[in-house]
Structure 1
Amino acid sequence: MRKKQAQILVVDDQEEILFSAKMILKKHFESIFTTSSPKKIISILNENEINVVLLDMNYRIGFEDGREGIHWLKEIKTLSPKTIVILMTAFGKIETAVEGIKIGAFDYVLKPWHNEKLLDIIDKAVLESRKNTKKVLVENSGKRYFNGSSPKIKHAYTIAEKVAKTDANVLILGENGTGKYVFAEFIHQNSERNTEPFVHVDLGSLSDNLFESELFGYAKGAFTDAKSDTAGRFETALNGTIFLDEIGNIPLHLQSKLLHVLQTKTVTRLGESKPRPLNVRIIAATNNDIKAEVRNKTFREDLLYRINTMEINIPALRERKEDIVPMANFILEQLAEKYNQTGWRFDDNTASYLEKYPWKGNVREMENKIERALILADNNTISVTDLDILDFEDFQDKDDNPLSEMEKMAIEKALFKHSGNISKTAEELGLSRAALYRRIEKYDLKS
């Protein structure tokens, strides 16, 4: 039997699982890689064109919530978008696997698996990987970014375009969900380093005891579980860009270690004494008031000077209202492409609601609501109800009437559509019958 041209990576902390998977898969596929340490995923992906990753969701005894699997899924999709990820989980932990599918996993398999089922899923994943390869190459050569027309966002993009052509360190400031990651990626894609790695590190999720080993790497024997020499994130980003997200969350006692790396442009792995030269572009981001932290002595002033050669402020969505509807249409188009669908649109009443809604979670909240709406909506048309932005009592100012008027009109329209049927009207509006009755009383809509 001729083997299929595909490279498969299996990641599991149980050696018997790795052995079993390799025995099954090597009969059918060209190259099988295995590792018991998820920390090696990045280096393996950087060194090989992996088509499919078979990823376990738990790696530490006593921790079986699948959070580690979700973390590494996100890392894989960031580093290698074309790589297909299949999650492995035990029966009874399917809920977390389903969550993984929502954020990018292709499918999941239950352990212990049926060999035929496993092979069938991987076959399909390999086909999907081949479809993705051409698509990802096109996206990487000319990825689309939504700019907008508001003065603040145009100013931010102007600075990003100019600084991208240099090697200056950049600090991106903005609230959660404003798109700091997108700006970091934009700078990398428009730089001379765009053919080299772009490595994203969420510093806010790193515990103190993992900080050095994750960022700087370690030598074999440096600590109990250090079974082999391992590069850290800085080395993984060699000649490319490292994006240090949530840098304001680094404890003071660890900031000096990061500062030393930036000052010397070298990195020393744990357990080694010889520094390794480092050629990496630094982009950092935070939603904290970093200058206030400097004044309060919780963030080092010299570290701030190192990371903000150039500073870019990303405005909140409420500060660029003229961009809200165009951005929503852009996001809808992108998501429709993701799901291989066409012809999606917002209904005629949606624009005014989009502009009035507060978007406290900024662009990230908008993406989540539109993706959910696209999945739930019928007839390729998304309504206010599908977006779940109809019930705005929580943020409506008492003296502000336009939103109340729009809600009243939406209820009147739904009541007319369903000939006054309360159950059907409530279902369309996403309200309980009791909540609908309260609004009917409030707006005096009784016939």
Structure 2
Amino acid sequence: MKIAIVEDDINMRKSLEIALSDYEEEFEVKTFRNAKEALKKLDESYDLVITDINMPGMDGIEFLETLDGRYDAIIITGNATLNRAIESIRLGVSDFLTKPFEVETLVEAIRRSKKVRARVKGSAEKEKESDTSLFYGTSPALEKTLGLARKAARSDASILLLGESGVGKELFARTIHDHSSRRDKPFVAVNMAAIPENLIESELFGFEKGAFTDAVEAKMGKFEAANGGTLFLDEIAEMPYHLQAKLLRALQEKVIHRLGSTRGIAIDVRIVTATNADIKAKMRNQEFREDLYYRIATIPILIPPLRERREEIVPIAERSLEEVVTKYDLGSKTFGKAAKEALLAYSWPGNIRELIAVVERAAILSDGEEITPEDLFLDARS
């Protein structure tokens, strides 16, 4: 079992190296001083990542978000808080150990991770075999668009995903990444509309210590975090006009500058962007730069709305129902024939996101095992 240990404290790092050397027949251990160094070296040969939370540049939570579940993970920290523990669990961390701990405690955690990994290995391999494993259903419209996405993935050309809100643009971006030569490198997603305007630049490009009032330590941005992999910029049309020129320059020169630094950092990132806006209208209104559009839209891909992919509606609903009843321990629930007909008859203006929300609410509020059209409450939405 190959293990990566990410720990900025040299004494702790060396102690773990020495302690785990007693288990060299069972574990192969590599250590890294920080998350940035680890991201450059991690590949598919690693089975487990053990990381501290509080580290300069990129903390353990951000590190795990960047890894995006590609490895089993164990958190070790000397400053445990409930919020941090909950956040790490949300990211799929198998154990959360508070310093100081006995090495035997860590070894037991590693062995537990190994057992779980062995148990799920078969199902994970089956999932990888399917090109549509990220999607809950299929349809001719979806297959046609996926075919175009997989072809585009073979190159490093910039891709712009177009389509209504809720059609699954991030799933398409992940599919493009998974079918590219960068599949073993990070996939980093950023929603431009969700970041306050004054933080977008530092979020994308990072900053140096002292760059502004609250910059008590340096931090890498999303470009650096995605280096070697794919950076997905969702809602790209919402990016403030005055920052678009800096993004364009970074894409053209493949060099970024952290806030507060004059030193350029070379980046090797594949860009996938997405928007549900009429981006050409924004260009006409001088809200989006034309030169940036042509840089990001080498291959534009239009994702059809759910109303044009009706074959997917019931499979998506049934898969979502399975997840909801498991999540909330609701017992056995199924869709009745009339409920399925109601699902198919509805226009789904909010697309897949709306469908999943409707299913979750119906599952929680329905009294019987069979979900009825009344449980779906679609008449009020029409």
The CA distance in 2 between the partners of 1:121 and 1:24, in whole Å, is 15
SS at match of 2:42: helix
The CA distance in 2 between the partners of 1:18 and 1:360, in whole Å, is 53
Q: Which moves more between the two structures, 24-33 or 172-181? A: 24-33
Aligned to 1:122: 110
Deviation at 1:392, TM superposition (A): 2.5
| 2:306 corresponds to which of 317, 326, 336 | 317
Deviation at 1:124, TM superposition (A): 0.6
The CA distance in 2 between the partners of 1:142 and 1:149, in whole Å, is 15
Deviation at 1:348, TM superposition (A): 3.3
Deviation at 1:322, TM superposition (A): 3.8
SS at match of 1:396: helix
Aligned to 1:414: none
Deviation at 1:257, TM superposition (A): 1.8
Given that 2:51 and 2:60 are in contact with CA atoms closer than 8 Å, whether structure 1 keeps it comes out as: no
| 1:199 corresponds to which of 184, 187, 208 | 187
SS at match of 2:157: coil
Given that 2:44 and 2:184 are in contact with CA atoms closer than 8 Å, whether structure 1 keeps it comes out as: no
Deviation at 1:267, TM superposition (A): 1.6
Percent identical pairs in the alignment equals: 35
Alignment of 1:77-92 (within 5 A): 77=68, 80=70, 83-87=71-75
The two structures have a TM-score, normalised by structure 2, of 0.69
Aligned to 1:392: 377
Alignment of 1:164-179 (within 5 A): 164-179=153-168
Deviation at 1:157, TM superposition (A): 3.0
Aligned to 1:409: none
Deviation at 1:226, TM superposition (A): 4.5
SS at match of 1:31: strand
Given that 2:336 and 2:371 are in contact with CA atoms closer than 8 Å, whether structure 1 keeps it comes out as: no
Distance 1:100 1:274, change over 3 A: closer
| 2:146 corresponds to which of 157, 162, 169 | 157
| 1:184 corresponds to which of 173, 186, 209 | 173
The CA distance in 2 between the partners of 1:72 and 1:243, in whole Å, is 17
| 2:82 corresponds to which of 76, 82, 94 | 94
| 1:49 corresponds to which of 41, 46, 63 | 46
Deviation at 1:302, TM superposition (A): 1.3
Deviation at 1:252, TM superposition (A): 2.5
Distance 1:347 1:119, change over 3 A: same
Letter in 2 for 1:33: T
Deviation at 1:283, TM superposition (A): 1.6
Aligned to 2:223: 233
The CA distance in 1 between the partners of 2:16 and 2:365, in whole Å, is 37
Given that 1:9 and 1:50 are in contact with CA atoms closer than 8 Å, whether structure 2 keeps it comes out as: no
Distance 1:252 1:21, change over 3 A: farther
Distance 1:135 1:257, change over 3 A: farther
Distance 1:121 1:364, change over 3 A: farther
The CA distance in 1 between the partners of 2:139 and 2:316, in whole Å, is 10
The CA distance in 2 between the partners of 1:117 and 1:111, in whole Å, is 11
SS at match of 1:178: coil
SS at match of 1:171: strand
Structure 2 unaligned residues grouped into runs of 5+: none
Deviation at 1:258, TM superposition (A): 1.7
Root-mean-square deviation (Å): 5.0
Aligned to 2:64: 73
Structure 1 unaligned residues grouped into runs of 5+: 61-67, 401-447
Distance 1:117 1:233, change over 3 A: same
Q: Which has the higher contact order (CA 8 A, sep 6+)?
A: 2
Letter in 1 for 2:295: R
Aligned to 1:7: 3
The CA distance in 1 between the partners of 2:349 and 2:20, in whole Å, is 47
Deviation at 1:158, TM superposition (A): 4.5
Deviation at 1:162, TM superposition (A): 4.4
Deviation at 1:179, TM superposition (A): 1.5
**1:387-442 CA distance string (max 9 Å, x none):** x992638x715xx7xxxxxxxxxxxxxxxxxxxxxxxxxxxxxxxxxxxxxxxxxx
The two structures have a TM-score, normalised by structure 1, of 0.61
Given that 1:213 and 1:232 are in contact with CA atoms closer than 8 Å, whether structure 2 keeps it comes out as: no
The CA distance in 1 between the partners of 2:369 and 2:73, in whole Å, is 30
Distance 1:26 1:184, change over 3 A: same
| 1:304 corresponds to which of 293, 296, 300 | 293
The CA distance in 1 between the partners of 2:289 and 2:357, in whole Å, is 35
The CA distance in 2 between the partners of 1:38 and 1:141, in whole Å, is 30
Distance 1:55 1:249, change over 3 A: farther
| 1:253 corresponds to which of 234, 238, 242 | 242
Aligned to 1:30: 28
Deviation at 1:108, TM superposition (A): 3.2
The CA distance in 2 between the partners of 1:85 and 1:376, in whole Å, is 36
Deviation at 1:165, TM superposition (A): 4.6
